[in-house]
Amino acid sequence: MDQQEKEKKNRRILLFILGICSCFIVFLIIYLVMLWTFFHPPSQLSDEPGYISTTREFHQRMTESLDVIEVQDWLNTLNDSDTGEVLNQLYIATSFPIKLPNTINSLKREMSYIFVFRNDPNKTCVRMMWGGPIARWGVVIGPKGMPIPETVDVNYDEEGYRIIGEYRIKLEDGAYVWHEIK
């Protein structure tokens, strides 16, 4: 055997040993990570869908930053000429045409849409929406005593079109937070 063949053979042996060592190190790291997660499971893992925890967090945030009574008082001051201009029309939050209460104004920059509607001939409500094409969530505020609708799961109509559901949590009397269920 000449010198070049010995060097090639030595390189192959060295590469083989490095490959074995590398595989051993990778498997050791994987084993240690699995062992660690077995004894220290992540606290965030849950069987509940993500929209439930997101809605709870949003509920907490709205409890701290939204004055429901101020919005209900504002809804009571809207007359037919005010609501006639905005009723049943979806507005980008920053371009709503009539004066909003301060509590809504403080949230308006991060909010996507505002929708004023009547759930009864004389009961005006406001629906504020956040989010975009992937997910939407928000708050509905109506008069005190307004019943909070039950959570509605995803469903299909007669033609097979998907109807998006809503998960709802009561915020205060006449108000609730919601999150789309797709």
Contact 108, 94 (CB under 8 A): yes
Task: Read off the pLDDT of residues 79-129 as tens digits, 9 standing for 90 and up.
Answer: 766 666 677 888 888 888 888 999 998 998 888 899 888 877 778 899 999
Band (pLDDT 50/70/90 cuts) for residue 139 is very high
Task: Read off the pLDDT of residues 38-77 as tens digits, 9 standing for 90 and up.
Answer: 666 555 556 667 778 888 898 999 999 999 999 999 988 8
What's the confidence (pLDDT) of residue 47? 66
Is 23 in a helix, a strand, or coil?
helix
Query: What's the average model confidence in pLDDT over 12-38?
Result: 85
Q: Is 174 left (phi over 0), alpha (psi -120 to 50) or beta?
A: left
Angstrom distances, CA of residue 72 to CA of 5, 12, 43, 95, 138: 89, 79, 39, 21, 16
Residue 25 token pair: 């190190």
Q: Where are the domains of the chain?
A: 1-44, 50-181
